[in-house]
Structure 1
Amino acid sequence: MLEDVFGAVGRFFLHVYKTLLNRHSLFGLLRHILINMTFILIWITTFKNAWRIDASIRPLIDVNYLEEADRRVFDLSFEGIFIQCVVSALGYAWMYALTRRSKLSILAALPPFLLNILYAGTHSLCSALDVFAWLSYGVIHFISPFLAAFWLWLFASPGVVSVFAWSFGIQNCLGIITHLSFPSAAPWYGDQYGYPLPPGNYSMPGSAAGLVRVDAVLGTHIYANAFKASPLVFGAFPSLHGAFSCCCFFFIARYSRKGSFMLGFYVLWQWFSTMYLRHHWRIDLLGGLLYSAFAFSFFYRSLGRIDRAYATGVSGGNGWQRLFEGTRLQFWFDHRPEKGYMAVMESSENGESGRTSIEVVMRERSEGDLEAAWVEDLGATWKTREPRVSPV
C-alpha cells in the first residue's frame, strides 16, 4: 500500500517535471529562461551596482523639476486641465490604434483623471491606510510579476510568458536608464529636508518615507534600513512600481475579463499607495504607465501571432492543458475543439483571432457556407481530419 502511494506521488512529480520541460531538455529549458530574462538581469544588475558609478561623471540632481511638472500637469487650472485632456486623447488614440475597439479605448483615456482622484485621498493618514498601502507597495509589488507569469503560463497561449518577460525587462531597463540620466527627487525629499529644497548629492541616504509608519506598526526597522541603503536614491521618474502593475495588467487583461478587473484594481491600488507613502509624484506614475505601454505595444503584433498559432493548434496546449492532459480537467477553462474538425480561425473586427466552433462560424456566415468563405478569403478556414481506418 505504501509503495503504491510513493509510486503515485513519484509519477505525479515526474509528470509535472515533463510538463515544465515541454519537450525541452533541462539545459535547454534553463537556457530558454535565461535568454528571456536577459533584460531583467541587466536591469537588476544595473540597479544593484548603481552606487558604484563615480559621482563626478553622473549628471546633476534636479530636486525641483518633478514637483513643478507635477503641479503644472495635474493642477485644476486651465493649463493643467488642457494638458490632462491632451494626455487623455493620446491614451485613447494609442489603445484604438492597437485594438480598434472604441469602448476599450475609453479606459486608456482615464489615467490622468484617476490619478487626480486618487491623489485627493492621500492626505489623510491613519494606521489602517498605512497597512493598506504597505500591502500593495511593500509586499504584492515584489511577487506580482511572478504571479502574473505563472498565470500566463497556465492559461494564456504558449509563448506569452516569454513575451511578458521581454516586455517587463525592457520597460525596467528604459526606466533605470532614465533614473541614471535624469536623477530626480521623490516627494519625501521635501518632507525630510524642508523647503526651499537643498541641492541633492549622491551621498545622501534614501528614505522609507511613509513606510516608516508601517515599521512602527510591525515593530521592525526593515523598510527604514532597506531604503536607507538603496543603491539608487534619486530615481523617482518613472515609477517602476507603477510600471510593474501596468505591465501585469496589460498581459492579464488580454486573456481574462475577470483578471482585467482584478489587475485594474491592483493598478489603482498601487498608484494610491505610492502617492500615499510619498514615494512618487503623479507624473512619475504616468511615466511608468507610458514606459509599460511602450514595451507592450512593441510586442503587440507578436502576441497576435502567438494567439493565432495557439488557436489553430500549431503551438499545442497551454500549461494547464498539458498538466491535466487526458483528464476531464484538460479543457476546464478552454473548450475542446469540435470532433471531426480542426480548430477554426475566425477573424474579428479588432484584428484578433480566437478559437471557435464550426456552428459559430456557420451561424455568423449564414449568407454562405464555409467552403465559399474559404475560397473568398473571408477569414475562415475549414479543415477536415482524415477518417481513421480500423485495422482488419
Structure 2
Amino acid sequence: MNVIYVLATFVKNMYNAGLNQRSLITLPFNFLLNFAPVFIWLSIFKHAGLIPTEIRPEIHSKFAFLADQFLFGDYWNELAVQLPKNGSKLVFWSFVSSSAFFLTLVCLPIAIWYYIYYVKHVNYNLVEWFSNVFHSPRDHKQQKPIHKSLRTIFIPFALPVFTFIVLNFDHFFAFQSDANFTKTKDLLAWFSYVILHLTAPILTAVYLYVFQPPGTMKCFGFALGLQNIAGVFTHLLIPMASPWFTHLYGINDTEHVNYTQEGFAAGLIRVDTHLGTHLNTKGFHMSPIVFGAVPSLHSAIAFQCFLFLLSRSTSLKHRFSNIRNLTVNNIDSSTLKLNEEDDEDDADNNAAGMFRPGDLEMEPLSTIESTDILNERSPSPSSSIFVSSSERSPSNSSSAVISNDGHKKSLQFVQLYEEDTEFTNKWVFKMINKGLVPKLCAISYIILQWWATMYLDHHYRFDLFIGVLYAMVSFIIINWFVLQPKVLKSWIHLRLGNKVDTRNEARTFGMRVFCGTKMEWFFDPLA
C-alpha cells in the first residue's frame, strides 16, 4: 500500500506541477506556442514540393564538394578521383587552404576575445551574463578571472576550432569504402541519424523543463525553430548536392541535376537490408527537398542541443546546506546583471544600491559581490533595478551587494528549502555534482551525430560546419534578447525576493514535483 500511495502522490505532484496554475486547455496551447517555430519549419519543409520548378533557382551541384575539400582537406583523395587531370595539384592545395582556414578559426576568435576582454575591459561573460550565479565553483579560491574562465573561452570563441577538429576526426572514421562498412557501424549510425535526431531535442527540452527556470525550454524551442526556418529557406534559395550525389553520378554530372531527381537514402539502404525493411529507402525517395545539403539541419539541431546542455547545466554547490560549515566559504559572489524596465512587480523594490556603467573594474569575480552591471548593454543605462534585503526570508542564503560608496550590503537568495547534506553527500550525488552528465551526453551526441551523418554519406564536413554556424547564430540571438534578459534575470529577481512569486515560478518543474522532500535541492539551478 505504501508503494501505491507513493506512486499516486508522485503522479499527483507531476500533474499539479505540470499545470502550475494552468488548465488542461491552456497547457497544450502553451506547448504549441513554445514550439510554434518548429512547426512552421516542418510545414515549410513538407510543402516545399508544391513550389513550381520553373521558378526555382539553379542547383549548385559542385559547390559543397569543392568547399569541403578546400576548407577541411582532401584526406580521401577525392579530388584526384573526380578531377583526374589536375587531381594531385588540387589535393596539395586543399591542404594549404584547409591549413589557412584552420589558422583563421584559431586566430580570429582569439583576436575578438582579446579585444573584448583586454582592450574594451568587459568584465562579464558575454554569453552567460549570470555565469557566476549558475556556474560559480564551490570553492571560490578556485575561481578564475572572467576572461580566463574556460566557460567564457569555450562558448563561443573555441567552438569553431573545436568543430573543425572533431569534424576531421569523425571524417577519418567515415571513409566510404566497403572495407569500412560493418553491420554494427551501420546500425549505430542509423540509431544516431534517425532515432537520436528525433529524440535528442525532446530529451533536451525535457531536461530544460525539469531542471531549469521556467521559460528556458521555450527559448530552446524558438532557437531550434529559428535556425531550421533559416535553414530550409537556404535549401530553397541556394540548393546544393549531398555527397551521395557526387559519389553516385560524379562531380561533372548534369543529367541528374534537376528538380525531378528523387532522393536517395545512401548508407541507410544498408540499414534497410539489415532490418529487412524499405522504410528509409522509400522515405528519402519522397523527400520534398532533394538538394538541401547546406546547411545540415541534422548538425544544426544536434549542435543546438549541445549549446543548451553545455550552457545551462550547472554544478551543485550546496548553497542552501543546513550544515553551516559547508557554506561559510561558499558565500555567493555573483555578478548579477539586474537592470530592466520597471514592471508591476518592481514597485515593491527598495533602494539599497544603484550601479552605473563603468562602476566595476576588470577583476576576478570572486572579489565582486552581487552587482548590477547590465547597464552596459541597456538601451537606457540610467534605468536600474534596486536591490533590497529588507523583505528577504529570514532563512536565506547569504550574499552581498556593492553600493556606490564601495561598501557591501546584505543580499540574500530566497531559500525555498534546506538541503540535508547527509543525504546529498551520498556517492551517487557526488558522481553528478559538477553537472558533467548533461555535458558528457551533449559532447558524445554531437561527435556521434557528425560521424553518423558522414558515414551514411548524407553530408559533407562543410554542410555540418554551416549547420553549426546557423545553430550558433540562432542561439546567440535567442540567448541575448530573450533567455538572459527576460527569462534568467526575471527568475533571479524571484529568487532574490525582488518580485512576488504569484505564479509559483521561483521553482523549476522538478522542484515543484519534489517540493518539501529531500530531493528538491537536486532540481534547483542555484543549489
Distance 1:91 1:38 in 2: 34
1:87 aligns with 2:105: yes
Q: Determine the structure 2 residue equivalent to 1:116.
A: 168
Q: Determine the structure 2 residue equivalent to 1:37.
A: 35
- Aligned pairs, how many? 335
Q: Determine the structure 2 residue equivalent to 1:270.
A: 449
Asked if the contact 2:61/2:251 (under 8 Å) is kept, the reply is no
Distance 1:15 1:98 in 2: 34
Shift of 1:29: 2.1
Distance 1:173 1:101 in 2: 34
Q: Determine the structure 1 residue equivalent to 2:490.
A: 309
1:77 aligns with 2:77: no
Q: Determine the structure 2 residue equivalent to 1:387.
A: none
Asked if the contact 2:306/2:443 (under 8 Å) is kept, the reply is yes
Shift of 1:270: 0.6
Q: Determine the structure 2 residue equivalent to 1:349.
A: none
Asked if the contact 1:311/1:355 (under 8 Å) is kept, the reply is no
- In the alignment, residue 56 of structure 1 is paired with which amino acid? E
- In the alignment, residue 467 of structure 2 is paired with which amino acid? G
RMSD across aligned C-alpha pairs, in angstroms?
Answer: 2.4
Shift of 1:196: 2.5
Distance 1:218 1:274 in 2: 19
Q: Determine the structure 1 residue equivalent to 2:366.
A: none
| Pairing partner for 1:98 from 94, 106, 127 | 127
1:198 aligns with 2:254: yes
1:189 aligns with 2:369: no
Asked if the contact 1:271/1:285 (under 8 Å) is kept, the reply is yes
Distance 1:126 1:91 in 2: 39
Distance 2:6 2:183 in 1: 49
Distance 1:332 1:98 in 2: 25
Shift of 1:318: 0.6
In structure 2, relative to structure 1, the CA distance for the partners of 1:119 and 1:297 (3 Å cut) is same
Shift of 1:118: 1.5
Q: Determine the structure 1 residue equivalent to 2:478.
A: 299
Distance 1:195 1:298 in 2: 37
Distance 2:470 2:251 in 1: 31
1:62 aligns with 2:65: no
Distance 1:73 1:112 in 2: 9
Distance 2:469 2:109 in 1: 9
Any unmatched runs of 5+ in structure 2? 74-93, 117-124, 129-145, 314-434, 500-504
Bigger shift: 36-45 or 176-185? 36-45
Higher relative contact order (CA 8 A, sep 6+): 2
Q: Determine the structure 2 residue equivalent to 1:374.
A: none
Asked if the contact 1:130/1:214 (under 8 Å) is kept, the reply is yes
Distance 2:295 2:262 in 1: 20
Asked if the contact 1:246/1:289 (under 8 Å) is kept, the reply is yes
Matches within 5 A, 1:146-295: 146-199=202-255, 200-256=257-313, 257-258=435-436, 259-295=438-474
Asked if the contact 1:133/1:277 (under 8 Å) is kept, the reply is yes
Q: Deviations 1:174-200 (Å, cap 9, x if unpaired)?
A: 100100001110000022223522251
Of all paired residues, the percent bearing the same amino acid is 32
Distance 1:64 1:192 in 2: 13
Shift of 1:61: 0.9
Secondary structure, in 3 states, of the residue corresponding to 1:60? coil
TM-score (norm 1): 0.79
Matches within 5 A, 1:298-377: 298-301=477-480, 302-305=482-485, 306-312=487-493, 313=495, 315-334=505-524, 355=526
Distance 1:289 1:101 in 2: 24
